[in-house]
Structures are given as C-alpha cells and as structure tokens.
C-alpha cells in the first residue's frame, strides 16, 4: 500500500482490512482475555486497537480511514447478534468504545499532522492523549447509551478516567508508536507498485478480511 497512490478503491479496502483485524482482536482476543480473567483487558484492547490504527495511518496518512476502520470494527463486534441471537444492546458499549477510540486517535492525528508524527515521543503522546479522550467520551456516552453495572461502579467520569483511562493511556502510549513503526516498514516493503496487477492486491486483502471475520465468528460461536 502506498501513501502516494491511495485512491478510493485502495482506501475502502484498507478500511475493511484494518477494521476487520481490529474487530477480530476485540472479539477473539478480548473473549480469550475475559475467559482467563486478565485484569487489564479493556486497556490492552484499547492499546491494540489504536496500535492497528497507527499502523494504518503510517501507511496511508489518511485520517478518515481511521474513522472508517472504527466503524468496521464496531460491525464485527455485532456479529454476536446474528450468530448467537443476542440483542444489539448487549454489544452497544463494545461498539461505542471502538468507534470513540477511532475518533479520538483521528483527532490526535489531525492535531499533530503538521509535525508529521516525526518522533516516537510525539506518537506516544498522541496515543496516550487519544486514550484519555476516548475513556472520557466512552464513559459519558456509555452512561446514556447503556449504563451497565460496570460503568455505574465508577461513580463519575473522573473516577473512570483515573481508574481506567490512565491504564488505557499507558498501553496506548506503548502500542501506538510500535504500530506506527510497523506501518512504516510495511509501507516501504509493500508499496502498491510491488503488488503487480490490481487483482493480486484485492485478492490478498479480501482473504485477510474473510479470515478475520471467520476467526471472529468462530470465537463467538465457541463462547469467547
């Protein structure tokens, strides 16, 4: 994928690829972490999701793609509705979280665009700032959309940000610069020109999308 020749078809495919991979991490990895009782599950998933977005941003320099990927990840979270006959309300907060995380990192990317994310410190600060913004937005929105016992247990937005948001920020501060670095390497190694005919590009990426959705569906089916 090349940052200089990203047209509409490539953009749509990238949104689907990165969004489905992010959604797979939420569903499959998130379910696994919940099963083993990992205490920082939401923080780790936030960091991984923002790391995937940072990878996408490094390859494309396209901010709207981050929002699109968040929407796709939210849709993957909703696979439990048709597969397990769950209600949409059961997945409301999970979908809300990923969409807000995508929007928060998009905002940080726009604010820091002029600096071109020139160093690891800037990228780390962008990740931490986006995570804190996302935690605030998630609590405030979640209390209106689906005020579950988990959110109610924090009492107010300040309690949520201190007890959850700061941990989210810590993971994002590490995984955003890491994701960005990986994205830079991939952009250099696999520019669009290296794919040859467009059919190869679309076939490979369609395979990635199908695999991510398949893994997510399997994870939901087995109860993760």
SS (H, E, C) the chain: CCCCCCCHHHHHHHHHHHHHHHHHHHHHHHHHHHHHCCCCHHHHHHHHHHHHHHHHHHHHCCHHHHHHHHHHHHHHHCCHHHHHCCCHHHHHHHHHHHHHHHHHHHHHHHHCHHHCCCCHHHHHHHHHHHHHHHHHHHHHHHHHHCCCHHHHCCCCHHHHHHHHHHHHHHHHHHHHHHHHHHHHHHHHHCCHHHHCCHHHHHHHHHHHHHHHHHHHHHHHHCCC
- With respect to residue 1, please indicate whether it lies within any of the assigned structural domains: no
- With respect to residue 2, please indicate whether it lies within any of the assigned structural domains: no
Provide the pLDDT for residue 85: 84
The better pLDDT of the pair 118, 85 is held by 85
Please tell me the pTM assigned to this model.
0.91
Decide if 97 contacts 134 (C-beta within 8 A): yes
Provide the pLDDT for residue 162: 95
Is the model's pLDDT at 116 over the cut of 70? no
Q: Which domain holds residue 23?
A: 8-221
Provide the pLDDT for residue 208: 95
- With respect to residue 3, please indicate whether it lies within any of the assigned structural domains: no
Is the model's pLDDT at 156 over the cut of 70? yes
Average of pLDDT values for 77-96? 87
- With respect to residue 32, please indicate whether it lies within any of the assigned structural domains: yes
Average of pLDDT values for 55-68? 89
- With respect to residue 52, please indicate whether it lies within any of the assigned structural domains: yes
Provide the pLDDT for residue 113: 67
- With respect to residue 212, please indicate whether it lies within any of the assigned structural domains: yes
Is the model's pLDDT at 57 over the cut of 50? yes
| Mean pLDDT for the chain overall | 89
- With respect to residue 207, please indicate whether it lies within any of the assigned structural domains: yes
Count of domains forming the chain? 1
Separation between Cα atoms, residue 52 and residue 67, nearest integer Å:
12
Provide the pLDDT for residue 87: 82
- With respect to residue 59, please indicate whether it lies within any of the assigned structural domains: yes
Tell me the range of 114-118, 163-167, 186-190, 202-206 where mean pLDDT is highest: 163-167
Average of pLDDT values for 100-118? 82
Burial class of residue 183 (count of CB atoms within 10 Å of its CB; 0-12, 13-18, 19+): buried
The better pLDDT of the pair 54, 89 is held by 54
Provide the pLDDT for residue 1: 42
Provide the pLDDT for residue 4: 44
Provide the pLDDT for residue 2: 41
- Smallest CA-to-CA distance from 25 within 86, 81, 100, 76 is with 76
Structure tokens at 73: 């990840």
The better pLDDT of the pair 21, 224 is held by 21
Provide the pLDDT for residue 6: 60
Q: Which residue has the tokens 């994870």?
A: 219
């Amino acid at each position: 994928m090349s940052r200089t020749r990203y047209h509409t078809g490539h953009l749509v495919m990238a949104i689907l690829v990165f969004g489905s991979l992010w959604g797979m991490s939420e569903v499959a990895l998130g379910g696994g972490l919940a099963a083993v009782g990992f205490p920082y599950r939401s923080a780790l998933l936030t960091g991984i999701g923002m790391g995937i977005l940072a990878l996408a941003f490094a390859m494309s320099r396209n901010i709207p793609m981050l929002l699109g990927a968040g929407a796709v990840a939210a849709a993957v979270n909703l696979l439990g509705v048709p597969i397990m006959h769950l209600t949409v309300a059961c997945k409301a907060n999970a979908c809300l979280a990923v969409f807000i995380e995508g929007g928060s990192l998009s905002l940080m990317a726009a604010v820091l665009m002029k600096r071109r994310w020139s160093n690891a410190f800037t990228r780390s600060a962008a990740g931490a700032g986006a995570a804190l913004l996302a935690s605030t937005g998630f609590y405030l929105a979640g209390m209106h959309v689906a005020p579950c016992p988990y959110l109610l247990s924090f009492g107010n937005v300040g309690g949520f940000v201190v007890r959850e948001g700061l941990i989210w920020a810590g993971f994002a501060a590490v995984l955003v610069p890491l994701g960005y670095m990986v994205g830079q390497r991939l952009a250099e190694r696999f520019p669009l020109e290296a794919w040859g005919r467009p059919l190869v590009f679309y076939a490979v990426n369609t395979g990635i999308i199908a695999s991510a959705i398949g893994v997510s569906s399997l994870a939901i089916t087995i109860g993760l």
